[in-house]
Structure 1
Amino acid sequence: MIEAQGGTAIRQPLLEIVPPADPAPFEAALAALETFDLVVFVSPTALDLAFAQLGRGWPAGIPVAVVGPGSAARARELGATTVISPPAQHDSEGLLQEAGMQRLAGRRVLLVRGDGGREILPDALVQRGAALTVVAAYRRTAPDLDDAGLARLLDAGVDAVLVSSSEAAAKLYALAGGAARERLQSLLYFAPHPRIVAALHEHGATRVVHCAGGDAATLASLCHHFADLQP
């Protein structure tokens, strides 16, 4: 989408998605999908991996809860008919405000996520009385990128950096030492969530634009910013 607007997109993953250390709980939960009253996916990756592993249509009558608009559209595309998704605040806190996430006492809820992560969502579901099962669909590992590789990326010229998670921000700065870290701190960043903005500030970045979530909204923020710089 950036390139379609005339920009150059330098793709550099900061997290690599690999299978969970033990895939058995994930596979068992999907095999017993019809026994759950609600399935929550914390990321687009969790959603896609679950549907790929399932290998069949989504069971009728089982609601799907997701955090972002992209995941909601993807869930419907894959066959889910009832999708719970926050219209504005695209995070766990926003999802927990939705009506379909309130009366969960005695309800069997499956939470599909990566290995580890924030505990606010599972803790809240348990507090609301849900019989919760949490399974990992994947693990996050660091890609093969060292300080020298990072320097080569920066030497190519970077006008802006789009960071899609606070964990990715931490990985980026963990790679850099000395002069490379100072170069990172001087760059312009676009971040689609206040938590990512805060993480970048913690690492010393001073120019961070908080943009709306979703690919289209993020692209609009980029285009608007650079259009304002045109003579």
Structure 2
Amino acid sequence: MSLATRRIWVTRPAGQAAVLSALLQEAGAEVFALPLLEIHPPENAQPLQAALAQLASYDLAIAVSPSAISAVLAALPAGWPATLPLAVVGPGSLRSAQAAGIHNLVYPETSFDSEGLLAIPRMNAVAGQRILLLRGNGGRDLLPDTLRARGASVEVVQAYRREPPQLTPGQLLLELQRGCDAMLVTSSEAAQHLFRLGGAAARQSLQSQLYCVPHARIAEALQAEGAGQILLSATGDAAMVATLQQHFA
């Protein structure tokens, strides 16, 4: 119960925070859910439908997040084709794919990001292959640009849309007054939304909070907003909880 009396904020999208929240509660924490990203269908679903209708023509598909996997599976009544390899980036996406019964998986053993995925041998042998990249709106172009440079034909399709939450600065300030011992932030975009939503009224309070993040890029996004207390954790829910436990111990 090493997190007893601690009020921990979990900022993952609704539907993706259950495992992390349960681990925190098992450690004694009071969990406050503040989703900093809302997941919606793409504004134009036709490109996704067209890509899924011709899945058999691809040599490899890549899903960059659990949201991408959920969106695709919802549009595939027959499930994922067993013969098509699916590449995923992080442990959350890997769990989502395995839970959906997808076993033909390509994923990095360490370095759970685009760089880590691109470093594995399978992603270096893509010349002449047709690849489907499933992601949300925006995002980095490192994956498609690198794979194209390696000789692949890459089709980027928006499977879902990320939007900031409907939250006022007053609501955020009220929750900050109720208490925040640490905030778990798992994407750079979420970090940016947090400070934009808080506005000038909440900025100083947000800068003084303790943050726990699983990647250096997220830490850099928070530092750019003026946050000074950042714990860099290994990737994965258990690792983030352990990092908090070690800090508060």
TM over 0.5: yes
Counterpart Cα distance in 2 of 1:144 and 1:73: 29
Deviations 1:82-140 (A, max 9, x none): 21111110100110001111111111100000011111111111111111111101111
* Structure 1 alignment gaps of length 5 or more: none
Q: CA offset at residue 60 of structure 1? A: 2.1
Aligned-partner SS, 2:112: coil
Match of 1:188 in 2: 210
Q: Decide which of 64, 78, 102 is 2:124's aligned counterpart.
A: 102
1:105-144 alignment runs, 5 A limit? 105-144=127-166
Aligned-partner SS, 1:115: coil
Aligned-partner SS, 1:176: helix
Q: CA offset at residue 2 of structure 1? A: 1.0
Counterpart Cα distance in 2 of 1:73 and 1:178: 38
Counterpart Cα distance in 2 of 1:55 and 1:215: 30
Q: CA offset at residue 79 of structure 1? A: 2.5
Counterpart Cα distance in 1 of 2:233 and 2:47: 37
TM-score, length-scaled by structure 2:
0.88
* Structure 2 alignment gaps of length 5 or more: 1-22
Match of 2:41 in 1: 19
Q: CA offset at residue 179 of structure 1? A: 4.4
Q: Return the letter of the residue paired with 2:25.
A: E
Match of 1:214 in 2: 236
Match of 2:113 in 1: 91
Q: Return the letter of the residue paired with 1:49.
A: A
Q: CA offset at residue 193 of structure 1? A: 0.4
Counterpart Cα distance in 2 of 1:57 and 1:138: 18
8 Å CA contact 1:69–1:87 kept in 2: the answer is no
Match of 2:226 in 1: 204
2:80 aligned with 1:58:
yes
Match of 2:60 in 1: 38
Match of 2:6 in 1: none
Deviations 1:171-225 (A, max 9, x none): 1111223341111111110011000001111110111000111111111112222
CA RMSD of aligned residues (A): 1.2
Range moving further from structure 2, 106-115 or 72-81: 72-81
TM-score, length-scaled by structure 1:
0.95
> Aligned residue pairs: how many?
227
Counterpart Cα distance in 1 of 2:210 and 2:172: 16
Q: Decide which of 148, 169, 182 is 2:170's aligned counterpart.
A: 148
**Bigger relative CO (Cα 8 Å, ≥ 6 apart):** 2
2:81 aligned with 1:68:
no
Aligned-partner SS, 1:111: strand
Counterpart Cα distance in 1 of 2:238 and 2:54: 36
Q: Return the letter of the residue paired with 1:167.
A: E
8 Å CA contact 2:185–2:212 kept in 1: the answer is yes
Aligned-partner SS, 2:179: coil
